[in-house]
Chains A and B, each alone.
Chain A
Amino acid sequence: DQQVKQNSPSLSVQEGRISILNCDYTNSMFDYFLWYKKYPAEGPTFLISISSIKDKNEDGRFTVFLNKSAKHLSLHIVPSQPGDSAVYFCAASASKSGGSNYKLTFGKGTLLTVNP
């Protein structure tokens, strides 16, 4: 039962253009969403996040959009650079009562290739 889905296994874009990575989720209890970037032979690295009370969060070239009604989020990278080539994971968490630590549920990842 995939609660977080990234339906595009791969995406290829030209340097300087926009990269849009998509993510869908099914669990209405998710209240925080994160994007991680992963290079080969390395661990995932946190990139950007968004709370369910917001619909947009921007950090430099990276913007995450959240559409709660559609249970959909997307990561926009503008402009894309060759160094952005990596696997991007969407992750979600659902806070528990009492504010204890939360587990992350990951999507399968999308391999982004930015061509020079």
Chain B
Amino acid sequence: DTAVSQTPKYLVTQMGNDKSIKCEQNLGHDTMYWYKQDSKKFLKIMFSYNNKELIINETVPNRFSPKSPDKAHLNLHINSLELGDSAVYFCASSLAYQAKNIQYFGAGTRLSVL
């Protein structure tokens, strides 16, 4: 059983399109995250949700809108895609209120904007 699963794994689209990436975790965690790994290989946090409530929003453009319908799901919708959005997007989950912030990651979604 995959603990954190993301779909799709690959996404190729044109500039200006709108796309969504879905994430689901079956670990019983209450906190979920979206990270972006850009061409320079840095993994940077974008958003964090705890019990469906937005906790962290790291100055991400408004074109990115996360949605958490329940604790086990965190989706990422991107409007008006730009070339610079090309990256690998990772979803992760963890249990809040623990000193060890061990986050479990999905396999990533490689987004290519043409």
Interface on A for B, CB 8 Å cutoff?
Answer: 31-32, 34, 36, 41-46, 49, 51, 89, 93, 95, 99-106, 108-109
Collect the chain B residues with CB atoms within 8 Å of residue A45's CB.
105
- B residues near A, CB below 8 A? 4, 31, 33, 40-45, 48, 50, 55-56, 58, 90, 92, 94, 96-97, 99-108
Q: CB distance B43 to A34 under 8 Å?
A: no
Residues of B within 8 A of A31 (CB): 99
| The residue from B94, B105, B107, B108 contacting A101, defined by CB atoms under 8 A apart | B94
Contact in complex: B108, A46 (CB < 8 Å): no
Main SS of the interface on chain A?
loop
The residue from B48, B100, B102 contacting A103, defined by CB atoms under 8 A apart: B48
Which residues of chain B are near A106, meaning CB under 8 Å? 42-44
Question: With A103-B56, A109-B41 as given contacts, are A32 and B105 in contact (CB-CB < 8 Å)?
Answer: no
Contact across chains for A104 and B45 when beta carbons are under 8 A apart = yes
- Least CB distance from A33 to B in Å reads 10
Partner of B101, one of A42, A89, A102, A108: A102
**Set A42, A100, A103: member contacting B97, Cβ < 8 A:** A100
